[in-house]
C-alpha cells in the first residue's frame, strides 16, 4: 500500500506499476466537507468517460491518496504489535501469518447433496394487479410514496433551516416534474443544461419549459436533499444518501426475491469531483467514480446494493475477507436461500465463503484465484495453458468442487453444489485452423456463463439512458443512479407481467409522459429562453428588436427601447404578444 501526496502521482504509479485501485482517504476531522464542487455545471459534462486520466484529473483532492496493490489486502498476513531489539531500539510491527486450514483434496467430483429447492415467488400469481399497470404507474409503484415523502421533506428542511429560505415551496408535483426532466435528459441529450429551455428551433424542447421554468429547476436542484443534516452519522461517509439507499432497497424488494438465479458483482457510477469514496480502477469502462456492490437477478433486476466506503469501515471488528462480508451483507435480504443459486467472480470467491454458504443451504458457484483454495493441487496456469483447448482438471474435498478448464486461457471455477457432468460442447474460433471448432466444457462452467452477468446487464441498461444533466453536489450521481435502478426494475417487471413487451426507450418515454401529465402545464413567459413563439407567422414577421430611439410602449405606455420589426411601433418584449392579440 503506497501513500502519496497528489492524485497525479497516484495515477502515474498505477499506470507504471501493477496497482489496481486508488482510494482517496477522507481529510482530517477539523477540515469541513462541502456538498458542492467549485466548478461550473457545464464543465462537468465535458468529462466524458473515454477521456484520458490526465485530461480530467483535478489538481488536488480533499484528503490523502492510497494505492492498493493487485494482491487483495484481506489476504495479507495479520499485524501484531511487538518490540524490536534492533540497533535503533524502536517498536516495530511484526508480520505473522494466520494458521492455514488443512483440507484434504481428492481426485473426485463429489459435492454436498442439497435438499430439493423450494418454490420462489411468482409475480403473475402473487401480484396479479401488476398486469394492468401502465409504464408510468409501474414506475410509481417502485418510486413510491415513502421515497417521495422522504425527498420532499428533506428538501424543504434543507431549504428552510440550512439555507434560510422560508419562501421556498416544494411538493410531490414539483418532485415528479423535476425527476421527469432528468429522466428525459437521458434519451434527449443536449450539450448544456440551459439548452432545454432555449427557443431556437435546433434545440427547443417545449415539454420541458411547459413543466418548469429554468430558474425554478435550478432552485430545486440547489436544495434537493435526501437526509437531515442535523442527524448525520459522522462515521458513515454516505450518511447524506443513506436514508435514500435504505428506502430504495426496501422498494426493490417489495415483491420478494422472485428470480431463481442471482449474481453479485460491482458496478461504477461516474464521478470526477472530490470525495473520499471516489475510486480510480484501471481497465474499467468507467475508471473514476463510486463503486457499488449489487445483488441482481440473471435478467438484470436489482434487489439490493450498497456504496463501497473503504475496507477499514466495513467489518472492522471481524477477520473476514472483504468479499465474504459483501456477499453475506447482500444475501441478508434473501429469506429462503435454499430456493436460489448465487454466482460471483474471483474477487469474492474463497473456500471459507463456499463452506459458509453451504452451511446455510445456499447454492453458490464462482471463479476463483488459485491462492484462495487452500493448496488445492490443481495444475499451475502457466503449464496448463499449453494443454489442448477444452482440457479440464478437478479436485474435491467432499464439500467443494474445484475445476480448472483451459479455454482462451485457464480459468478456475469453484462450486458447492453443481456438477461437471454432463459435459457440454461449445464453439470457439481456432486461429490455427481458421474456423470454429467444438470444445468440451464442464456443465458448471456453462451455468456460470449463463447466469453470472446480471449486474453487468443492469449496468448496461443504466448506461444506455443515463441523465445528461449534471450537478455540483457529490451525492447527485448516486441519487440518480438509484432513480435509474428503480426505472430499470419497473421496466423489467412490466416486461415480465405485461403482454406488450416494450423496449427500454419506449418504456422510459412513457414514464416521462406520465410524470408530466399528472398536472396542467404552465404558461411559459415570452421573455427569456423558456418562452415559445406565439405563431409561425408572428415568429417570422413580428419579433422584438432594438430601437434607435426611446419612446413609450404602444401597449403599456411605459418607456422602452424595443420595437416590433413588422409593425415598426415601440413595444416591450413582454407586450408584443398582447398587442397583436388585442
- For the stretch 11-27, pLDDT in tens is 666 555 544 555 555 54
Interior angle at CA 346, CA 375 and CA 18, nearest 5:
95
pLDDT band of residue 78 (cuts 50, 70, 90) is: very low
Closest CA to 397 of 416, 384, 380: 416
Q: Which residue has the higher pLDDT, 346 or 535?
A: 346
Return the pLDDT at 48.
45
**Domain layout of the chain by residue ranges:** 2-83, 130-233+467-516, 346-447, 536-581
Q: CA–CA separation, 76 vs 410, rounded Å?
A: 25
Closest CA to 109 of 417, 451, 565, 363: 417
Residue 72 has pLDDT above 50, yes or no: no
Q: CA–CA separation, 277 vs 293, rounded Å?
A: 13
3, 64 in Cβ contact below 8 A? yes
Indicate the Cα dihedral angle 358, 112, 376, 368, nearest 10°.
Answer: -50
- For the stretch 246-276, pLDDT in tens is 999 999 999 999 999 999 999 999 999 989 8
Q: CA–CA separation, 519 vs 521, rounded Å?
A: 6
Q: CA–CA separation, 299 vs 491, rounded Å?
A: 11
Residue 95 has pLDDT above 50, yes or no: no
Q: CA–CA separation, 366 vs 452, rounded Å?
A: 9
Return the pLDDT at 543.
83
- For the stretch 266-318, pLDDT in tens is 999 999 998 989 998 888 888 999 999 999 999 999 999 999 998 654 444 46
Residue 54 has pLDDT above 50, yes or no: no
- For the stretch 413-428, pLDDT in tens is 999 999 999 999 999 9
Q: CA–CA separation, 31 vs 277, rounded Å?
A: 16
182-209: average pLDDT: 92
For residue 563 the three cell numbers come to 420595437
Residue 87 has pLDDT above 60, yes or no: no
| 497 backbone dihedrals φ, ψ, rounded to 5° | -100, -15
Coil vs helix vs strand at 547? strand
Strand 19-24 to 279-281 pairing:
antiparallel
- Highest average pLDDT, of 61-65, 397-401, 431-435, 454-458, comes from 454-458
- What stretches of 183-324 adopt beta strand conformation (E)? 261-270, 279-281, 288-297, 302-307
Coil vs helix vs strand at 255? coil
- What stretches of 97-244 adopt beta strand conformation (E)? none
**What is the Cα Rg of the chain in Å?**
29
Sign of CA dihedral 231, 237, 241, 242: negative
Residue 405 has pLDDT above 70, yes or no: yes
User: Rounded mean pLDDT of the chain?
Assistant: 82
DSSP code for 316: T
Of the candidate ranges 115-129, 218-232, 452-466, 519-533, the one whose mean pLDDT is the lowest: 519-533
Return the pLDDT at 99.
59
End-to-end alpha-carbon separation of the chain, Å? 76
Q: Which residue has the higher pLDDT, 285 or 530?
A: 285
Closest CA to 222 of 179, 311, 158: 158
- For the stretch 550-562, pLDDT in tens is 888 888 888 998 8
Within 10 Å of residue 348's Cβ, how many Cβ atoms?
A: 26
Return the pLDDT at 219.
95
Give how far the C-alpha of residue 577 lies from the chain's centroid of Cα atoms, to the nearest Å: 47
Residue 220 has pLDDT above 50, yes or no: yes
pLDDT band of residue 352 (cuts 50, 70, 90) is: very high
Amino acid at each position: 500500500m503506497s501513500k502519496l501526496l497528489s492524485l497525479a502521482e497516484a495515477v502515474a504509479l498505477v499506470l507504471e506499476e501493477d496497482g489496481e485501485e486508488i482510494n482517496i482517504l477522507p481529510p482530517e476531522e477539523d477540515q469541513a466537507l462541502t456538498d458542492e464542487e467549485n466548478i461550473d455545471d457545464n464543465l462537468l459534462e465535458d468529462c466524458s468517460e473515454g477521456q484520458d486520466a490526465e485530461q480530467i484529473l483535478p489538481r488536488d483532492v480533499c484528503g490523502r491518496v492510497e494505492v492498493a496493490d493487485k494482491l487483495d489486502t484481506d489476504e495479507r498476513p495479520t499485524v501484531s504489535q511487538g518490540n524490536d531489539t534492533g540497533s535503533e531500539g524502536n517498536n516495530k510491527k511484526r508480520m505473522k501469518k494466520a494458521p492455514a486450514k488443512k483440507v484434504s483434496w481428492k481426485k473426485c467430483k463429489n459435492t454436498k447433496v442439497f435438499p430439493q429447492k423450494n418454490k420462489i415467488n411468482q409475480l403473475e400469481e402473487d401480484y396479479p394487479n401488476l398486469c394492468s399497470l401502465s409504464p408510468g404507474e409501474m414506475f410509481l409503484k417502485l418510486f413510491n410514496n415513502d421515497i417521495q415523502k422522504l425527498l420532499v421533506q428533506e428538501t424543504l428542511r434543507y431549504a428552510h433551516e440550512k439555507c434560510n429560505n422560508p419562501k421556498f415551496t416544494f411538493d410531490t408535483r414539483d418532485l415528479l416534474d423535476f425527476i421527469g426532466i432528468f429522466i428525459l435528459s437521458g434519451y434527449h441529450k443536449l450539450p448544456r443544461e440551459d439548452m432545454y429551455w432555449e427557443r431556437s428551433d435546433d434545440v427547443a424542447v417545449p415539454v420541458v419549459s411547459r413543466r418548469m421554468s429554468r430558474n425554478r429547476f435550478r432552485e430545486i436542484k440547489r436544495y434537493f436533499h435526501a437526509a437531515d443534516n442535523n442527524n448525520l452519522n459522522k462515521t458513515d461517509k454516505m450518511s447524506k444518501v443513506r436514508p435514500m439507499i435504505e428506502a430504495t432497497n426496501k422498494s426493490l424488494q417489495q415483491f420478494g426475491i422472485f428470480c431463481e438465479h442471482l449474481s453479485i458483482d460491482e458496478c461504477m457510477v461516474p464521478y470526477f469531483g472530490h470525495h473520499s469514496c471516489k475510486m480510480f480502477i484501471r481497465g474499467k469502462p468507467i475508471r473514476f467514480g463510486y463503486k457499488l456492490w449489487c445483488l441482481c437477478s440473471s435478467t438484470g433486476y436489482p434487489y439490493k446494493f450498497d456504496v463501497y466506503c473503504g475496507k477499514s469501515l466495513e467489518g472492522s471488528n471481524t477477520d473476514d475477507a472483504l468479499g465474504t462480508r459483501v456477499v453475506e451483507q447482500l444475501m441478508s435480504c434473501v429469506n429462503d436461500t435454499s430456493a436460489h443459486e448465487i454466482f460471483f467472480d474471483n474477487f469474492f470467491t474463497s473456500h471459507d465463503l463456499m463452506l459458509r454458504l453451504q452451511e446455510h443451504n445456499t447454492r453458490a458457484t464462482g471463479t476463483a484465484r488459485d491462492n484462495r483454495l487452500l493448496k488445492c493441487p490443481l495444475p499451475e496456469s502457466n503449464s496448463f495453458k499449453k494443454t489442448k483447448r477444452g482440457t479440464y482438471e478437478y479436485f474435491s474435498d467432499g464439500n467443494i468442487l474445484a475445476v480448472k478448464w483451459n479455454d482462451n486461457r485457464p480459468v478456475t471455477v469453484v462450486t458447492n453444489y453443481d456438477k461437471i457432468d454432463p459435459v457440454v460442447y461449445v464453439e470457439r474460433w481456432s486461429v490455427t485452423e481458421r474456423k470454429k471448432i467444438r470444445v468440451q466444457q464442464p456443465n458448471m462452467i456453462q451455468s456460470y456463463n449463463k447466469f453470472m452477468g446480471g449486474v453487468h446487464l443492469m449496468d448496461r441498461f443504466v448506461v444506455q439512458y443515463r441523465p445528461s444533466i449534471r450537478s455540483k453536489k457529490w451525492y447527485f450521481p448516486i441519487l440518480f443512479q438509484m432513480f435509474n435502478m428503480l426505472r430499470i426494475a419497473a421496466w423489467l417487471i412490466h416486461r415480465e407481467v405485461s403482454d406488450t413487451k416494450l423496449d427500454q426507450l419506449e418504456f422510459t418515454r412513457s414514464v416521462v409522459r406520465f410524470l408530466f401529465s399528472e398536472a396542467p402545464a404552465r404558461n411559459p413567459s415570452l421573455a427569456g429562453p423558456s418562452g415559445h413563439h406565439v405563431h409561425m407567422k408572428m415568429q417570422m414577421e413580428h419579433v422584438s428588436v432594438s430601437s434607435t430611439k426611446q419612446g413609450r410602449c404602444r401597449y403599456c405606455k411605459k418607456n422602452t427601447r424595443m420595437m416590433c420589426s413588422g409593425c415598426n411601433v415601440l413595444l416591450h418584449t413582454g407586450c408584443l404578444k398582447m398587442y397583436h392579440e388585442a
